[in-house]
Structure 1
Amino acid sequence: MQGKLQEIDIRSIMQLIELGQRTGELFVEASVSQYWFVFCLNGRIIYASETEGSIARLRDYLRRHQAEAALDRIQVPPKADTNAPEYAHLWALLESHQINPNQGKQMVGSMIQEVLFDLFSLHQGSFIFESGAPLSPQLAAFEISPLLKGITTQVQEWKKLHPYLQSPDQYFTIVNSAALQQSLPASVYETFQRWSDGSTTIRQMSRYLGRDIFTIGKAMYPYIQQGVIQLSEVTELGSVKPLTTRGDRLPHIVCIDDSMAIQKTVEYILQGAGYQVTTIGNPLKALGQVFLLQPDMILCDVAMPKLDGYELCAMLRKANAFRQTPVVMLTGKDGFTDRIKARMAGANEFLTKPFGERELLTVIESYVGAPPQTAEPVSLAASVT
Structure 2
Amino acid sequence: MNSNENRKNKLFNLLLNELPDQFTGKLEVKGSQKSWMIFFCVGRLVWATGGEHPNRRFHRIWHQFCPNISLANMKLREQNDLNSYYYHILSILSRKKVLVLSQVKAVVIENIKEVLFDILQQQSQELLAYNLSPKGLEKSLILMSVIIPPEAIIPSVYKSFLAWQQSNLTEYSPNLVPEIIKQKLLQQIAKPNSYETIVKLVDSQRTLREIALFMNKDLRQLTLFLIPYVRNELIILKSVPDKQRIEGSAGLQPDLNKNQVPTKVQELIVCVDDSKQICYMLEKILKKANYRFIAIKDSIRALPIIIETKPDLIFLDLMMPIANGYEICTQLRRVPVFENTPIIIITGNDGVVDRVRAKMVGATGYITKPLEPKKILAIVKRYLRNYPPKSSEKSDQTSF
TM-score, length-scaled by structure 2 = 0.47
Larger radius of gyration: 2
TM-score, normalised to structure 1, is 0.49
